[in-house]
Homo-oligomer: A and B are copies of this chain.
Amino acid sequence: MTRETLRSAARASAPTFSPLYRQIKDFLIGCLERGEWRPGDVIPSEGELAQRFNVSQGTVRKAIDEMAAENLLVRRQGKGTFVSTHSDPRAYYRFLRLMPNDGIAVPSVSEPFYCQVVDAPPEVAAVFGLAPGGAVVHIKRLLRFGGEKVVFDQIFLQAEFFPGLTLELLRAGERSLYSLLESDFGVRMISAEEHLRAVAADEECAALLGVQCGEPLLLVERTAYTYGNRPVEWRKGLYCTRNHYYRNELG
């Protein structure tokens, strides 16, 4: 593929100016989407990509810079550039913002106890753009921090993307849910949006979390997206915030 190929493709598909590094970035994202490079893999070096596209190293560099800023790639000096992965223990809790009040981090343990394919509730169908009653996997689990029951999660996934996802599979191994979805089903979560509210505990979750019925809980609704901002997960978490808080940084 030559530089001219890139330029002409841009002009053909859109009259708006698209810089070279943007086109290269789009190409790299395409490789990730199509699974040509899998999570944890090294991608070709900057020099090699520059040759392949007939551009200078700096142009490839700018494309990779942006993708690294978006957590799609990870640079490691002297080694190469790698596809981000949830299987890296350092990324296990990338999306979990819960912190203990006293600041002392303790290991968290996930205890899934329910996993069934069900008709999508209307709210979930709307998020996924499914027909009402489309098939989704419904997971319920408890998260413990140092033994203490802190979070009750209800997770919904589009069933067609996760055939054979069972409670046994969820319970096997130490990896995080996103790590499992990534390695066993090829679906990678890259961003998410959360909506937070305060609610009163109902009977079910009061029993599960071991709190009084009516106790204030933090309700966290999350929509998670894969490449191309396609929603693939919706979840509803109830957090007991007696000994923990949800941490957020504003820039």
Contact = CB atoms under 8 A, between A and B. Distances in A.
Interface stretch (A48-56, A160-168, A193-201): A193-201
Interface residues of A, number: 34
Name the prevailing secondary structure of the A interface residues: strand
B245 A195 contact: yes
A241 interface: yes
A31 interface: no
Nearest to A239: B198
B246 A193 contact: no
A191 B246 contact: no
Interface string A181-206: 00000000001111111111000000
A196 B246 contact: yes
Interface in A8-59: none
Interface in A191-250: 191-200, 214-219, 221-222, 239, 241, 245-250
A17 to B, nearest CB: 12
